Structures are given as structure tokens and as C-alpha cells.
Amino acid sequence: MRAWAVVENGQPLKEIELPTPEPKGTEVLLEVTHCGVCHSDLHIWEGYYDVGGGQKMSLTDRGVTLPLAMGHEIVGRVVKLGPDAKGVKVGDLRIVYPWLGCGTCATCLAEEDNMCTVAARSLGVYQNGGYGTHVVAPHPRHLVDPGTLDPALAATYACSGITVFSGIKKAMATPGYTANEAIVLVGAGGLGLNAIAVLKALKHQNIVSVDISPEKRAAALAAGAHKVVDGSGDGVTARIVEAAGGPVLAVVDLVNGTATARFAFAALRKGGKLVQVGLFGGELMLPLPIMAIRALTVQGSYVGNPKELRELVKLAQEGSLQAMPVETVPQNQADSALMRLRDGKVTGRLVLKAEAA
């Protein structure tokens, strides 16, 4: 198999040859047709996360090994089955759930794979993903039929889609939630536009989008946000509160950097919740007495689980989920696509497309 891989952190991706995997047991081998280019890929490419205070969390220390074909928003065509794989056949086109755990613990068997504490085996992170020509799914339950959906769009649901879907469900679970309560989305890139589409599909009536880019704020309005807020400079909290008509019940921070976390937290009303989704990095200092007095919640949300992926795809197949802007680029241009994302030159999502797709 070919792969456009990280061979050295921070350096251009290189096209390399790797052995094509042979599926065993319940495994399914797929030929990649489409793969989204996600902001998380930039952190893997760089080799670290910024955890604040001048500290960096090395991904090598967390088990990421090079060379690595990144890419976790994958659609592929089944080309070979392990002897125990049932429920799919050669030629089937499937979305691949990438956030794999050990596969055998109670958490994984309950289809909460992303919360496994035994072993992280995510595609495109801890094993080769969709920047290569082939991937292996450990079990057919990790494959979802896109039906008549555009496969380039369907690929984005495996990360961008379920990440915002899971975060939004946490926001909607805040006591006091109604469809008319303002939900604030920080960031109007690929995640933000997907989040607007998900909120609309779930019949939410009050969406406030925050971004530093005028172009992305315009894209958010076009996608269905009811209000937009300039997220640059000072006074962002005041602008959010004004746009929302008062302090807010829930903020979903799709950037999750030091600055965004601060202004988002400050915008919460009593009983409010900040759902932290993005991985931009930094730290948040919390006033502990205020946390208790105002009954506030700060909750992390890490991607989503296979059940949420199936639920989201069903929404899309029913026509409830508005498509986000997607631009396809040839798979062999993975490096230039990644650099466009790094430089902030992407509205919506870039999706790598295989030559034969």
C-alpha cells in the first residue's frame, strides 16, 4: 500500500510504501476512497499538544510512532474480510469509525470505544489511517453504510460530525435547556459549520457563532447561525452576552484555547455549562468559589462513539442534516492540503480523494 506519511514531525509528508495489511479474525480491509483533513492532524504532524504554562505534551510519549499515515475521517470500499467478519461484503462502501479502543473491555463492548482506558488504537493516530491507500477496521460494527450520501461529505461525519454531535448532546443535557436557549459555538471552521447543521437538524432555534474571521462568520450566517460575534480582541464576553440576550446556558468551544476558554466561561449564567471540544491548547484558571456558588460545569468532550455515528448518519440520510462545504483534493496532495489548513485557508472541510474513487 502507498501512504502519504509523517516521517519526521513538522516536515513535509512523504509518499512511502508499506505492507498491505492482511485482515484476521473479524477484521475488514478497506481501500480508502475519501479521507477528511482534520485540525487534529496538525497536532499529530507537529508531534505535541500545548497544555499551557509553556508545557507541551509529546505524542511520542503517548504512543504515537512514525512513520504514520494520518487521517481519521475515512470512507473506503471493502476489499477483503477476515474469516470471522460478518455483515459486510467485498465492494461495500462504508464510513469507518476510527476512535478505537482495545475492543474487548466492557467499555468497548458497550460501544463506548472512544472512552476505553485499556488501549488507544485510533486510526490515523496510533495506527495508519486514511492518508494511506488501505485501512483495517477491527470489526464490522465499526463500519457504517453511507447509503446515498456523498462519500466526501460522509467521511467528515467520522470526526467533525460526531465530535460536534456528541458535544452538542452534552450541551443539550444541561438542566434548563430548551430549544430557544442560546447555544454558543466558538469557531466557525469545519467543526463550527457542522455544529450549526447538527443544531438545526435537532430543531434548535437560537445559535450564536463566534469567530475571529469575517469570512467564517459570513459562512456561519449562510449555514444558519442566528447571530455571529467577532471573537477577536477584548470584550468578546460582552459581545456574546449581547448577542444571546443575556448570560448563556451553554457554550460549545470548538477551538478550546486559553483565550476562548476564558471568554466562554465568563459568558455562562448560573447553572451554565462549558463543553470543551477543540484541541488548540492552553489552560484555564477557574475561580473555585464561583464554580460552586453559580453551579457551573466545565466538561470535556472527546470525539464520539459508534452509536452516535450511526445516529448522525441516519439524520443525514433522512435529509435533516444540511451539508457542510466540502472541497475534494487528490490524495497525493495530502501535504499541501494539510498546509492550507495550517495557514487558515480552509472554509468547511478538505477531503482527500483517491485516484480511482
Q: What is the mean pLDDT of residues 270-276?
A: 98
The superfamily (CATH) of domain 2-158+304-353 is Medium-chain alcohol dehydrogenases, catalytic domain (3.90.180.10)
- Is the pLDDT score of 51 beyond 90? no
Whole-number average pLDDT of the chain: 96
Which tens digits make up the pLDDT trace of 162-182?
Answer: 999 999 999 999 999 999 999
Q: Is 341 exposed, middle or buried (0-12, 13-18, 19+ CB in 10 A)?
A: buried
- Is the pLDDT score of 356 beyond 90? no
- pLDDT for 234 equals 97
The closest alpha carbon to 93, from 76, 72, 79, 81, belongs to 76
DSSP letter at 19? P
Q: What is the 3-state secondary structure (H, E, C) of 262-308?
A: HHHHHCEEEEEEEEECCCCECCCCCCHHHHHHCCCEEEECCCCCHHH
- pLDDT for 53 equals 86
DSSP letter at 98? -
- pLDDT for 100 equals 98
Per-residue pLDDT band for 341 (boundaries 50, 70, 90) equals: very high
Residue pair 263/242 in contact by the 8 Å Cβ criterion: no
Distance CA 200, CA 203 (A): 5
The superfamily (CATH) of domain 161-300 is NAD(P)-binding Rossmann-like Domain (3.40.50.720)
Per-residue pLDDT band for 248 (boundaries 50, 70, 90) equals: very high
Q: What is the mean pLDDT of residues 53-67?
A: 92
- pLDDT for 357 equals 80
The structural domains of the chain, with segments of one domain joined by +, span: 2-158+304-353, 161-300
Q: What is the mean pLDDT of residues 204-222?
A: 97
CA atoms within 13 A on the CB side of 238: 3
